[in-house]
Amino acid sequence: MFLPALLFATATLAQPPKPAQLGLCAACHGENGVATAKGIPHLAGQDRDYLVAALGQYRSGQRSASAMRAVSGALSDADIAALADWYSAQRSGTAP
């Protein structure tokens, strides 16, 4: 009888806090990582290490996309880690 409530509480506790810089990404990729515009990739459920590496590569210029370069340039390593934690913890395919 208490199992569903326990599972819900565990899932809620496992969610990382919303990152301070989430708005920078949410404008295109959605707060929960499900993009609504054509050509914008979904971030929800992506591998955390992949997200950290990709953001670092945009920030350094190793990957080229002018919008991503501009946004990632304002991110610290801690911001990138927090955003990767957030988006990797989101369920893919779920709308905000």
Per-residue pLDDT reduced to its tens digit, 33-78? 999 889 999 999 999 999 999 999 999 999 999 999 999 999 999 9
- In angstroms, rounded to a whole number, what is the distance separating the alpha carbons of residues 90 and 26? 13
What type of residue is 1?
A: M
Portion of the chain with pLDDT greater than 70, in percent? 81
Q: Which domains does the chain have, with CATH numbers?
A: 21-89 (1.10.760.10)
Task: Answer for the pair 60, 51: CB distance below 8 angstroms, yes or no.
Answer: no
CA dihedral for 65, 69, 72, 77, sign (positive or negative): positive
Band of pLDDT at residue 4, cut at 50, 70 and 90: low
Q: Could you give the percent of the chain with pLDDT greater than 90?
A: 71
Rounded CA separation 23/70 (Å): 14
Give the Cα separation of 8 and 46 in Å (integer). 22
